[in-house]
Each structure stands twice: as structure tokens, then as C-alpha cells.
Structure 1
């Protein structure tokens, strides 16, 4: 079955990411349970080897099936008094939000993943039928609440470890624009979400038909009536163990393109939100937790929006390929010293190809193969080559690249370029650090490309384990070059 994870809710982490061997009770398994756990660990190793040795896509459903069985064994081990008290305190502190999420997880096991197809009485989390189900499925509810507590514990450990290692911020969580309409968040917050509507984008130069993302939007009137409590509670949950938060499509605090169910995206309309209230809620949550907030403010931005965000201390997002002087002939690259300071500067994003692909030919060839390029293929190839040559010439003009530079030097030059900007933060894309050429996500594809299922690989296409990533000479060289540039030694 599917993991009851972040497609279900943005507040709680997906338990598929749990390191089962680090759960304290795991070490107390004995007898038949210990023998079965050993078998599951061995099978997990086989899955891992299949990815690393044969470059198979990551199968999270298979991973979850193994982890769930192992965790069910561990769940039978009694908690020590101290652990039991910590578990109870967590459940009490999370209150109704956790109770609803855990119940939703239990009900999906019985009635399927789409709550809108459940028996009528269970579609309402406050109904008498649902109250009876809480008692009837108490054992499974307890199991899923326990899983959520374990993920919270391991996130807390990760943040403490990051801070102890000298990271000022530590973990930076991501707040997705929306949540799956079948998930626990949509079930629990039906009154705050617009039924029969989804978030999208109007037709533009990049997509003549517009976009429909299938995610239900917040109702601005319901948020206001609730004193923005649903949003506030979501933020508080995400910031429990994080020093930073990236807000996907932060422009949604101002307006969103709503598409009626069954209609074309072109038939949608913009619905405006109380930006001051939304941003005030966000700023208050960040202030209480001492977290930095990064808004993904790419795309079409209304006048005054970036100024409003900056005035509240929110950082923006600046991507190398998009930072150009659009008011000048030829739209040359924006010089590093003219970049804005209040931003996270990156070479790429998760929706764009790695630098090795962008500065080579594999990106355009992949998009041609997937049918994502309109018009003559040779014209598209020529345009891609021209853009690459323009960037390489830009790096050379700034003394970052020699004429005979290879692929690794080109990628390093792009990141040294970032280091010369006044941006408050710089993001290093892990695939770029090891020379991976394959994008993690190709927008506009579903079956055509294994989005989010590819292991990070080296420049030769060999998948890398975590231990290999940490020890990569290429990673060490690139990060050293960025540090030198930041220190003025580049």
C-alpha cells in the first residue's frame, strides 16, 4: 500500500523515511520477531543493491512494505516509562491534528485512499460514525500516531546533529503549495478548502493551455473566519525541528488561479487573499521559532509583491539561468554584483536539469525525446547550443573559466558566479556536486519519465550511496571552490 506520507499531509513527515534500526525498541526484538526483522533487513539491502548496482528506479512502495512490517514488529515492544511519557506528551501536544491524521491512515487501510469514496458517515471527521471508528480502530490509530512520533524524534535528532556540526540554520523544510485532495489534510480541513476547485496557472507563453495541478486551494473567507488557525498550525508543525522554511510559490499569499473541476485552466480566475494576514501569520510563526523563511517567488510577479516580502524579512529565490537584464538587447546575464541580496541564490531548481545537462547537450536531447519541444529539432538544438555558449562566454569574461575548461570546470564556474553575488544564502544542488546529468523531475511528464525515483548518480551514470556521496572528491573540490570564492580567494 501507499505510504501515509506527505501526499496526505504537509504537517507530518512521511514514515517511509524512518531509519528503523535507530528506533530504540528495535534492539529489543527477540525470538521469532528478531528473525523476521533480519529477513526484512536483508530484503531492504537487496532493494538498495538493485538501485546501486543496476540503476533501478527507487521503489518507495516496496521500501514502505518492508519498513511497515518491521515497524509493526517493533511496535509490540513495550516502551520504557520514560519513552512512554515522551510518547504521551507528544500525542497530547499535537491534539486533534494528530488524532485526525492517524485515524485517516487507519481508515485508508480499511476503505481505500480516497476518503470521498468512503461510507458517507466517515467522510466527515466530526460525525458520530467517525467517533465510533476512532474507538473501533484504536489499535491502528495508535500505530500510526506512534509512527508520527518516531519521525518527529528522528527529525529532532537530525536538527540537533546539524546544529552541533556548526550549521547555523540546520534543516530547511519545504511547504508545498497544496496537498492531495484525497489526503488526511484535505479530509480534516474540508471547511477551509474549496471543494470542486483546484490550483493552477493561466495560459502563458510557456503553456498555451494553462495548467491544472489538481490541488484544492485554501478558502480565504474560511481562513479569515478561523483566525488563520489552519495555516498557523501547519506552520508550527513544520517549524518544530527546522531552522528554515522554503515556501513553494509564495505568491499564493497574494492570489491563486482557481480552476473549476472539469473545466479548462483557461476558464479559471484569480482569487485574491489577504496578503497582510497571511504574511503576518507566517512572519509570527518564523519569529517564534527563530527560522529563516525563503519564498519561491519565480515566474510572473505582480508589482510591489517582492517589496512586500522583503519588507517582512522573507528571502526570495534567484536562479542563475533566469537572472538576465531583460531590458537590454540580447538580454545579457545579470552581473553578480547586481543580484539582490535578500535571496537564496541557486544555479538550478528541482524542476530544471542539472548544470551538467544544461551546459551540455543531454538536456535538449531528453526534452526532444520526451516530445516537450515544439518546432524543428535542429532549431531547438541550435538555440540550446547558443544559450550554452553565451553562459560559458559570460563565465570567461568574469575570469571564472578558461578556454579549454571541461565539464567539471564549467559547473564550478557557475557556482563561483553565485558566490560573487550579495545573496544571503547559496544553494548547492546535490546532483551538480557529483556531475549527475539526469533531472530529478521533468514537468509535464508522468509515465514518460521516472520523476523523483532516480538515485543521485555520478558523471558516468553510476548511482551513489550516501557514503559515496560524502566521500566524493568532486563534491569536495566544488565546495572548496565556493568557499574560496566566498572568502575572496577565488
Structure 2
């Protein structure tokens, strides 16, 4: 095969073999790995003629479409678009008609040859020419349609989605004026309280919002609250969801649902001693018992759904509202509900039927005739799962309204995972959109020396473009609802993703590029529409220039204190962090403050086999000891520890003085946002997640060490929260 054919195909698919690794060294993906990746994309990498034919077909389709499937542009006085026309049309005056989102129409008659010619080709002996046509129009931001007509012909020659966006994402006005705020981040499932059913819920979230606001905080940051798989409750990773558009139904507080409040029979069921004993057992575990929680919640949810359909006077209005919700949410809700229903059915029949790839072939897609027939003949079962989503969304909405009523600057900030699991409802309903034999991940880096493959099939950039970015838009709309901020996990995904073929290890992947400017523009549009601030998790390998793009787009950066080191190894003063950022000490993928200081994560990594050899571990420990000393020097240097406090890191364990001193130190910084973890208030040791592990560690199960009622009554913690508020106010005044 000639290099030109492979190179052209790689360019067509956005595959880049060249990158700079986490250590700043140039790296090149081997041709063998590239070919393996292409094979898993569904093409024969060794068939030169087939690759050439696909390339030519794509080029042909580009020209024959006349207009692209979608045009995304920042709001301006005029817009330049590429129009591909057969030569017989280039001198004709054509009508360009824009139908705006608010039902207005704007028409212009333009001749293509009045504008620059940028390309020419011949298809089936017909010459096509591409012109950069300028449309002058005052257009509102939003989702419009552009159609191209011949005069006297009512049928358009071509149609495209025209999306006009702002230049940057939303920032609350008081933050624009310099206000610096703090909040807490929490794994919602891990909250312990006196009333929940063994897992944190949206009523616990309300309690957190009230207590945080009362102590001067302005937001609660959540783990992804995406829909998981109720039929497989132990598949609990919030970053490996079934759907990123729907919610984890286990977060509903069932005692706060109208059907529960209005029905004494269900109340008696929940208040009998046997049921209470089950709840007590679920509350008292150190780790979330997902199996037990799911069983008990579904048991009661089914009772509540029966109450809704009982015909009682109080239920009739609720049932009407629910039916309208189902209608409004449309196909997306039915897809999720149908998947949950079918997965529950198949797993009950056979435990190995873990997801659609393990189901009977006739059920392996939402669109199949067999699936549709089953849905039609099992309407009430599908509606039950719709009901589960409805009550969850209502409670999230209530929490959001509470945050706004408390005057919190952001209130709830949600987290958007980078993808969905292979056996997810999203892929089941949208097979054409995903590359199913590939997983996204990361090349080897400091956090993961072996590289990472996350088991999340990527969305095809081609298909996303052909669908006018609608899947991405719907994803943003779903996740920007009922919150004041959205954190985008692995925000580099807007630019590129590391694709790993299913038959390869993580280091044998390659980067695939996405249309970053279009995606950032769409992000800005939905951010402004939803009044939702955007935080981009930009850790790991960050290619040159993307930080500038993100900053210009109004996306807030993510500064983790333990990673913020200067070239000389010292830790950068938080006073020098950039303003457009959220600062934090640690994350869900890192050890707690106490765990970091005692190197618990490194010893745990050795125990779990995460390091290729002892030499790697020794170097990591040596570096950690050095970092600890530099941190101690920095915190002392800013007078955030008592003068008599030990200055030798090798003789200093992590205690409350150092822990709270670190948090206060970061609170004095320049970043507009400060997020601190509840487990660090409680001085906990165990991490919530160990990257690169699955069954080796109990990821996503660890609960907080105390009930939240105890946490906010703790005098020392209350004193810390007061210091955080004071430090943020002082930083705002500078």
C-alpha cells in the first residue's frame, strides 16, 4: 500500500499518528497499530482499493450534497458558507432562504460566481465548483434552517442546519465582577444520613445545599448522576453509564414522592419492623450495598406506580401530568425505559444476559420489529420505568429550585461523563452513531503508567456531523438542566480522544480528532441558554493551544493543587492560579488528602499490580516525599500553619491542623471557584476510585465516615467553613 492512500484515509477519519506524551516527548503510533484501529472502525486496512473507494465515495457525497449537513457559526453580521454547485448552476441567481427558530424567514438571491471559487472537481463527467458565499443577515442565536432554491421551484436543491452561537459560555454576573466562591464536591451515593435508604439521595442533596449555603458556600458538585443499569446494580461506576441523558433512579427519595405521601398502605409497608430492619442494615454498611438498595427501592417504586394508576382522585391529576411528561420527552425516554425493562427481563431469565450484546439477536436494537412488538405488548412495564425517571427528575428539579431560593451562585453543579458503556441503552438505540469495537481511554501517563482503556465506545465524528451534531446538543441540554454549572469530564474529548481497539492494550491506541470549534460553539450556545457555567476537566496530556481555545470559549479550567508545580519543583502559590478556573486539592480519581500524604495510593497501587516493576514505585515514592516537603514549605511560607508546626515533611503525619491548613491555603487563591471534598473535611483515608482497576478495588462504593447531620454539627468543621468563606471574601476584595 502506498503511504498516500493510508495518509489520505487517516486524514479523512481524523487519525493522527503523532502526539506529545505526558512527559513532553514526541511520540508516533506505529503503522501496525493504525491499521488495527482502522480495521476495528469497520474497514480493511490492507485493502488499498477499498480505502481509496471509500475516500472517493465520501468526496463524491460531499460535492453532491451541495451544502454540508450542518453549519455552526458565531453570531456576526455576515456568514461565509461553502456551496458546491454543478457548473450549470454557478451563474444562476439562487435563493438562499433561512427559516429561523422563531419561525421567521429571511431570503436572499445570490449568484455563486460573485464570490471566491475555492475548489473544482468532476463527478460522472459533470463539473462541480465550490464557492465561498457570503450571506449578510441579522440572525438570532439558535437553531435555524438554510435552504437553497432555484427560482420558480418550490423543492429545495439542498438543506442544512444553520446554528448561530455566542462566542463564549455563561458566567454569573457576580463572578464576572470578581466574586470568588467555594463549594463542596461529593459522591452522592456515598452520603450517609439518618433517613436515606443506604444510598445518598436527592433529599440528602437538599440538606447539603441548605447547610453549605448557611456556612457561606455557593455550590455542591456531584459525581455523574447518569442512568446506570438497575438490572445489574453492582455495575456502579458513574463514569460508565447506560445513558448520559437520563438519571440514576436510585437517587430518588421514595418517601418524598406524592404517591407515597398519599397512600397509607405503602406507608404501612415501609414502616413495618421487617422493612425497617432492612433499611437499618443498608444504612449501617461501610460500602454501598447496591444489590440491596436496588431491590428495596424497586419494590417500593412498583407499589407507588400501582398507586398512580389506581384511579384515586388524587392520582388522576398526577397521572395526567405523568402522561404529558412521557409525551414531551418522546423517543429518548421510551428508549431508556424500554432498555431498562428488557434488561431486567433478560437478566432475570439468565444472569449472563448482561446487556444488549448478550440478548437474543432479534432484541439487539431498539428499532427492530421484535423489540417494537415487545414494547407495544408490554406498555405498562415500559411506563413503569418512565415513572422511575419522572420522579427522579422532579426531585432533582426541586433541589435546583431550592439552591436558587437560597441565593447560591451556582447551586448544583453536575458532571458529564466522557462516554457510555458498551452494553448501554444509548448504543442499543443508536448503533450507527458509535464505533462499537473501540474503547476510549488514555495513553500511558503519570497517573496511569500502563495507559487506560475505559470500555466506552466512542461516538463517530463522521456520524455526529451527518446528524447535524444533534446527539451532542441533546446531551448538553439534558445535563445542563436543573443545575447552575456543568463539569465536563476529560474536556479534551472536544478536541480528540484516544481510541483503543478491542483487541489491543491501551498503549496501542491513537488519537482521533473531533471538530473542536463547532463543539465549543455549541457548548457556548447551550451554556448561555441554560445559564449554566462550564468547567472543563483539562488534566493529563493537554495539546498546545487547546487551553487558549477553552479559555476564549469561556470554559473554566480545572486546577488540582497537587499537580500545580513550577519548573523548579516548588508548588505554585494559589494566588497565581488563573481566575477562570476551579481549584481543588484532590479529585475522585486521586487519594484523599490524608491518603496522599501517607502514600496510601502508591502502596495500594503496588498491591493491585498497577506498576510494571518496583523501580517505578520507588521513583513515585521518592517524588511524593519531595512533593510533600515542597507543599509544607509553601503552606508555611503563606503563614497558613502555626509557626511552631513541624517543617520537616518526613517527620510530619497528616493531622487536622495540616489538612485544614491546606484547604485554607487554597481558599486564599485567585481561582474564581474552589471545590473541596466532604471526605477531606472528615479526614478520611480510603479513595473512592482507583483508576485502572475494576474488581481489584471496591470503586464507587465507599460511603462517608459520618452522617451529614454529624458533619455540619462538628465545631471544628464549622470553624473551617467559616475560614473558607472569609478567605474567599478576602480574595474577592483584592
Q: TM-score scaled by structure 2? A: 0.62
TM-fit CA distance, 1:49:
4.2
TM-fit CA distance, 1:363:
4.2
In the other structure, the counterpart of 1:485 is: 727
Distance in 2 (CA, whole Å) between partners of 1:256 and 1:361 is 31
TM-fit CA distance, 1:8:
1.1
Which has more strand, going by share of residues? 2
In the other structure, the counterpart of 2:292 is: 62
Alpha carbons 1:353, 1:363 under 8 Å: kept: yes
Which has more helix, going by share of residues? 1
* Comparing 448-457 and 247-256, the one that deviates more: 448-457
Answer yes or no: is 1:354 the counterpart of 2:592.
yes
TM-fit CA distance, 1:146:
0.5
CA RMSD of aligned residues (A): 2.2
Change (3 A) 1:202 1:379: closer
Change (3 A) 1:271 1:378: closer
Q: TM-score scaled by structure 1? A: 0.91
In the other structure, the counterpart of 1:461 is: none
Identify the match of residue 465 of structure 1 among 692, 695, 707: 707
Rg comparison, structure with higher value: 2
Gaps of 5+ in 1: 458-463
Distance in 2 (CA, whole Å) between partners of 1:100 and 1:372 is 38
Identify the match of residue 21 of structure 1 among 230, 244, 255: 255
In the other structure, the counterpart of 1:74 is: 304
In the other structure, the counterpart of 1:121 is: 362
In the other structure, the counterpart of 1:460 is: none
TM-fit CA distance, 1:35:
3.9
Alpha carbons 1:412, 1:481 under 8 Å: kept: no
Q: Deviations over 1:256-286 (max 9, x none)?
A: 1111121222322111100011112211111
SS at match of 2:582: strand
SS at match of 2:583: strand
* Comparing 140-149 and 78-87, the one that deviates more: 78-87
SS at match of 2:698: coil
Answer yes or no: is 1:375 the counterpart of 2:375.
no
In the other structure, the counterpart of 2:40 is: none
Alpha carbons 2:667, 2:728 under 8 Å: kept: yes
Change (3 A) 1:192 1:43: farther
In the other structure, the counterpart of 1:239 is: 480
Equivalent runs, 1:77-476 vs 2, <5 Å? 77-78=307-308, 80-112=315-347, 113-204=354-445, 206-326=447-567, 329=568, 331-372=569-610, 374-375=613-614, 381-402=621-642, 403-404=644-645, 407-457=655-705, 464-476=706-718
Distance in 2 (CA, whole Å) between partners of 1:207 and 1:432 is 24
Distance in 1 (CA, whole Å) between partners of 2:448 and 2:685 is 25
Change (3 A) 1:204 1:428: closer
TM-fit CA distance, 1:231:
1.1
Distance in 1 (CA, whole Å) between partners of 2:394 and 2:447 is 43
SS at match of 1:108: helix
Alpha carbons 2:574, 2:666 under 8 Å: kept: yes
SS at match of 1:321: helix
Distance in 2 (CA, whole Å) between partners of 1:81 and 1:29 is 14
Distance in 2 (CA, whole Å) between partners of 1:297 and 1:187 is 30
Alpha carbons 1:10, 1:175 under 8 Å: kept: yes
Distance in 2 (CA, whole Å) between partners of 1:352 and 1:474 is 25
Change (3 A) 1:412 1:205: closer
Change (3 A) 1:368 1:214: closer
Alpha carbons 2:259, 2:315 under 8 Å: kept: no
Q: Deviations over 1:77-126 (max 9, x none)?
A: 13634322321222122110001100011111222331122222222212
SS at match of 1:10: strand
Alpha carbons 1:324, 1:334 under 8 Å: kept: yes
* Comparing 225-234 and 386-395, the one that deviates more: 386-395
Q: Higher relative CO (CA 8 A, sep ≥ 6), structure 1 or 2? A: 2
Distance in 2 (CA, whole Å) between partners of 1:367 and 1:116 is 32
Distance in 2 (CA, whole Å) between partners of 1:382 and 1:226 is 51
Distance in 2 (CA, whole Å) between partners of 1:49 and 1:266 is 42
TM-fit CA distance, 1:41:
4.3
Distance in 2 (CA, whole Å) between partners of 1:171 and 1:393 is 35
Distance in 2 (CA, whole Å) between partners of 1:81 and 1:240 is 27
Distance in 1 (CA, whole Å) between partners of 2:278 and 2:326 is 30
Alpha carbons 1:434, 1:474 under 8 Å: kept: no
In the other structure, the counterpart of 2:39 is: none
Distance in 1 (CA, whole Å) between partners of 2:534 and 2:506 is 30
Change (3 A) 1:185 1:91: same
Change (3 A) 1:205 1:487: closer
Alpha carbons 1:337, 1:420 under 8 Å: kept: yes
* Comparing 247-256 and 229-238, the one that deviates more: 229-238
Distance in 2 (CA, whole Å) between partners of 1:438 and 1:123 is 40
Q: Deviations over 1:158-215 (max 9, x none)?
A: 1111111221211111100111111111211211111211102223455454221110
Alpha carbons 1:194, 1:218 under 8 Å: kept: yes
Distance in 1 (CA, whole Å) between partners of 2:467 and 2:632 is 53
